[in-house]
Structure 1
């Protein structure tokens, strides 16, 4: 986990970054209070060992798998690159700056290197045949997804650590300096910019922008808020606090919303680092429920449930209407779980060992597994297909078995 330590003096734009585990920070703070500088070590919990499934069933079959590598990768940034997949186009980015286009048969169509570390993407829009990535130096780049030809690039004031949202001729981005931005899809020129409050200390990472409706983008920020902004011109529509941190220190009061909010059937679901799971009825703007779970990952929803993965590796299902806890699964404790997703009638969750676990939503039991190479950070679903990309650079597309 990386904490951003930001100066209150925005004029000097000094940004200090330090990589520490939250528990390590708390341990050091405790040490300082006790007047002891030696002998106290942060508690590190070993990941729970996997137990062999008694009667696993077949849920996923691989239909595409390639290793793009991880050369020249930096350990200072969150590793959450995602496969760009839309309308049979596949574009994959590596941490070392490689961008490669494939067809579904696995044939490489084009490849290039952007001469920088890629930290966000791949956002892929099949209608305009555009692939968008972001780099560690704050550059946004757009390419023709069928040929790899560069269309434009734009320098931002901050780094975008997640993939962009492409909608209504806009490329919408959330940067780690607190600015939400909309660029022209045609030429990359800035169209609008929206400033949010930046806390002094936050978890390094940002939630990917998503659509609230056809004309409105929903963006989550490090101060624990959700912002609804018009896609076309960046006008704010409403803002609501989701994360509420408590405690005596700034570290304990961190309330980041780093998991992309879920909008489904006119309902909004979100989760915060400070431990709030919330459901909102968008028609009335009323809160349906609030429950407790701390996470930096997006939620998943089905017709009856809201599912989350906690910082400690617990998987929890809540009743979608009341927020009542339906079941908990702690078999994957401290395995650094990904966001949960629904694939067919199953919940899928990835872990630090590159394993994708398939869970029965009725019972919360693990019923199947598939294996990739390298730790998983984010899962995606498109239709009946699951998309994975590991920190080692292995990208795969899995088909739901019939």
Structure 2
């Protein structure tokens, strides 16, 4: 990808603004230089004039613990398939439920869980990861432990299970492929680790049936064959510019999105990029900074920015379609498509539903605690707050 001098200057100015802004809201690892962050107050919510019913509650429970660090910003993903779900608490509890919310089993692994749960329905395996780099696999129906493996670095995001491999990204820059059956290491792939990076990593995802896509703290995407770890290609997405290491941070912490032969990714340093996978050509690059995954629909790619904007772009041309600042500085989650609407969560446990055509908020639902990640499974929206409140909503009929 080649940028013009004018584009580079514009991006550089934006990046410097974004870097300062991000320090106000995001933990940075690798330095402690006495910088006192400036905190922007979250905007107050304005009542919706004529709200509509979009989501109806299905299930909620609290798995929080007094011993857990509720201020820890890490996300915990819910493992879900058509028959059951498996959730994990920050205190080390792993709990299986059926789809009606009946508790089936519970185990405690005795240490903090950081990445949440990934469930493979075919093998009935649930995988969790811990702060100290341990990976544990359980029978998702009974809770019986199957294996455990120790990695070289902490794992802060859920695993990807595909092609009989459990694929993980560790904070030391190492990527791992484990045997789904035994947990033994099959392959490792080392990436560059910058001196300073944002605390977090992007969850691995699938590029195609045989290839895993992993984003790293140096602003790159790596396509790796899932079964044997052979690198296919690597591309820089985040382009940090500036005189200091902080200004040059270019993490890609939001999981890349692959949809209809298009790849979308966004970086901390302020680049939202779209790539045509057939030609490997860049379709567009827009200036927006985020640490959250994107959402896509037939026409749009949607992002939540570091400062709390929700922005929709044309997924083919990159043209900005609309922007909403009504949730500024509310520490927004990733956007997701649920039914015909865009959903975004915030620091107060509120899920806001947007009309994708206009960008206006049309509905809200509420849970308890701060939301960091939203998940969609079919017509259901899944949330788990930092206080341990697990909730499921379904698109209203």
Q: Same fold (TM over 0.5)?
A: yes
Alpha carbons of structure 1 residues 392 and 368: separation in structure 2 relative to 1, 3 Å: same
Question: Does residue 56 of the first structure (1) align with residue 51 of the second (2)?
Answer: yes
Between 385-394 and 65-74, report the one with greater CA deviation. Answer: 65-74
C-alpha contact 1:70 1:391 (8 A) present in aligned 2: no
Question: Does residue 382 of the first structure (1) align with residue 358 of the second (2)?
Answer: no
C-alpha contact 1:97 1:113 (8 A) present in aligned 2: yes
Aligned residue runs from structure 1 range 172-191, under 5 A: 172-191=167-186
C-alpha contact 2:71 2:386 (8 A) present in aligned 1: no
Choose the corresponding residue for 1:273, options 257, 268, 271: 268
Aligned residue runs from structure 1 range 359-374, under 5 A: 359-374=354-369
Gap runs ≥5 in structure 1: 6-16, 19-24, 29-40
Cα deviation digits, residues 336-366 of structure 1 (max 9, x gap): 0000000111000000000000000000000
Shift of 1:74: 3.5
Cα deviation digits, residues 217-257 of structure 1 (max 9, x gap): 00000000000000000000000000000111100110000
Between 84-93 and 209-218, report the one with greater CA deviation. Answer: 84-93
Aligned length: 372
Choose the corresponding residue for 1:231, options 226, 233, 250: 226
Aligned residue runs from structure 1 range 89-128, under 5 A: 89-128=84-123
Gap runs ≥5 in structure 2: 1-25
Shift of 1:4: 2.1
Secondary structure of the corresponding residue to residue 102 of structure 1: strand
Question: Does residue 315 of the first structure (1) align with residue 310 of the second (2)?
Answer: yes
Alpha carbons of structure 1 residues 205 and 76: separation in structure 2 relative to 1, 3 Å: farther
Choose the corresponding residue for 1:73, options 61, 68, 88: 68
Choose the corresponding residue for 1:343, options 338, 347, 355: 338
Task: Tell me which residue corresponds to 2:390.
Answer: 395
Task: Tell me which residue corresponds to 2:28.
Answer: 3
C-alpha contact 2:73 2:386 (8 A) present in aligned 1: no
C-alpha contact 1:268 1:279 (8 A) present in aligned 2: yes
Cα deviation digits, residues 311-347 of structure 1 (max 9, x gap): 0000000011110111100000000000000011100
Aligned residue runs from structure 1 range 83-94, under 5 A: 83-94=78-89
Could you tell me the TM-score, scaled by structure 2's length? 0.92
Choose the corresponding residue for 1:153, options 141, 148, 151: 148
C-alpha contact 2:70 2:387 (8 A) present in aligned 1: no
Choose the corresponding residue for 2:38, options 21, 43, 46: 43
Please give the alpha-carbon distance, in whole angstroms, between the structure 2 residues aligned to 1:79 and 1:72: 16
C-alpha contact 1:258 1:296 (8 A) present in aligned 2: yes
Aligned residue runs from structure 1 range 171-320, under 5 A: 171-320=166-315
Secondary structure of the corresponding residue to residue 323 of structure 1: coil
Cα deviation digits, residues 31-72 of structure 1 (max 9, x gap): xxxxxxxxxx53210000001111000001111111101332
Secondary structure of the corresponding residue to residue 49 of structure 1: coil
Please give the alpha-carbon distance, in whole angstroms, between the structure 1 residues aligned to 2:164 and 2:71: 32
C-alpha contact 1:89 1:126 (8 A) present in aligned 2: no
Cα deviation digits, residues 160-216 of structure 1 (max 9, x gap): 100000001000000000000000000100000000000000001000000000000
C-alpha contact 1:78 1:204 (8 A) present in aligned 2: no
C-alpha contact 1:352 1:374 (8 A) present in aligned 2: yes
Shift of 1:394: 0.6
Shift of 1:76: 7.9
* CA RMSD, Structure 1 to Structure 2 (Å): 1.2
Please give the alpha-carbon distance, in whole angstroms, between the structure 2 residues aligned to 1:137 and 1:205: 14
Shift of 1:75: 6.2
Question: Does residue 332 of the first structure (1) align with residue 327 of the second (2)?
Answer: yes
Shift of 1:129: 0.5
Could you tell me the TM-score, scaled by structure 1's length? 0.91
C-alpha contact 2:169 2:175 (8 A) present in aligned 1: yes
